[in-house]
Structure 1
């Protein structure tokens, strides 16, 4: 039997399995913030499930600072709030406050570097890799990836939806720009040191209006509340596990293609699991005679927004052209004309794989103007989309068969896909 010949009823069973197991993990293992007991229990559980299907299961461990990734928001909240009263005493010190706010943001969020990690407590997280071997020599390898952890709730997104969430960011940006502008003006008109007077005093008083917004930024990510993470990203974890399970259950053993389910931990802490995987397996997926592709799935919820991300990590990392093209071709066979796009704010694990030299693509099904469930307590097992999961499962099986048959040669020739 070919992979694409798996019967419809078996595919339906796989989608039901995905939904049932998502509920099972959420109900039984509790909060799964990075490095938590819940995340590690979920990883152990998934490792056991893969052990029933795969020929080999690996469980790696690494240290993570779960609160560090959003730590930059604390720096913004504290130092921009301090910048307002400091302005009246010494305008030049406002620039110092702005610098102390922006540098952590640039390193920690824009670049996803572990800039603040040494300042925060560490926990132990991990990755799980289940390998379903071919009957013969390994010549190709398909790695299907999802992350097991769940994020700290985006407080203002839950309270007021996307408009309030976006407004909370825009108002802080406006506040930073305003404080920079009036500090520059005060340095010129009143001198960099000493108290401001005249019009400089009044524009400083006007700046007090931004203080509530600076303070509110402390709750950008509420570490007191961990979301269930059903769609983000248990859908991806069980898409990977279900794909391998379907091969096993239907007696399909590819001749020369290895299929791997890779469950990474602590993605929400700054891609720490995927980054650790690259470091702990420096030679993996680099064999010259083994074509290897990574498919990272992320938030498989809104079918109408299913898309392929050829750029990642705030648009700074380029994912593999051929991998993107192959996925697009496979989706077209199932009636989906997928667009290429960029993860312009944030990142997926594919970025870490691509930076590490692996050939990876990222696929997500979510509205860029994020729905209220995203990164809030509404992302629960009762808010799944079986329709979306079914379509992605079909495309995944199609991809496995296509890559098994032709490898990267199946990609269309031409220039890299443009961002749309």
Structure 2
């Protein structure tokens, strides 16, 4: 890993915000009013919190074709309070006559990509920290609160300060058994959970671009764990193919940083000899190579969330688990990130392999990753998850412990009953 300062030029972030604010150029630190290309809200930070205030304005939604509402955090409900949130969300969606309301059909960040709401060069806002997920498609995703969301819904604009960019560059070749999750944890170990506060993480390099677009999303998604304002990744032919499959064939233009762009810092990682990485309790930056982790016995293994339950993740886990069974006394939870992903996993045999190994299928929502729904951890329980956060109380009891890793590492650990190296099963 090395740091360096690079002078001159504009970053992709500056270019996107210049276009969105109608300026020829913007500098870091400028305050801009930027036009939003797409906006997303979910039930936990949506109508239940801002619906009445929005109604008082008496204004229509600025563009319903660019707005998505999901019911994914409290769905399905496990108590009256969650039912109340969902009922308010559904009633508001009906009142607003929303054509893009998705009820338990998937996690909002994945649905935004699948349904063509994200395109390169776009500015996307959302009432969730992992709106950074859009960076894998060359868009700038910015998280805002439900109150600020009222302004976006009414005017289609958002107030922003142009952020600095940190470059995270990968070299070498991705080894077998190593995935996007391992690459992002490698950087998180060094930058720490506050290392990119109000900055954009620009991920780059041939190893990164060799990953399928779905796996690149793991890095852009987890920019939130660095406290980043957003993330961005270059666009290539694989991106164009992903967009085409999502119904986006034109109307976009790739935006790239200038070769002499100015970065706040630059980090470089040669991944050629990198091992699978594991974030140990109770911090996302408490990262070690899997061979250095000696965990206590696991009671739970979880493959889910917007970070770690895409089709590629499920397939990687199935490759480890096929023909094997999870350890006695361990429960393996499987929560595909969307219904589309679940359907594809059913069709290609992936889901069957996971269930045959002892996996328990959960709804295609946030669920236990957000500390809701079935499968929450009890006092003293130890879990390994493909999700994005492991602080105390994240997935249930504050007395539980959570390890974070790739879906393949989660699967290997489910077989062993302790944190384990997936390379043992796929070599």
Structure with bigger RCO (C-alpha 8 Å, 6+ apart): 1
Query: Structure 1 or 2: larger helix share?
Result: 1
Larger Rg: 1
TM-score w.r.t. structure 2 length? 0.29
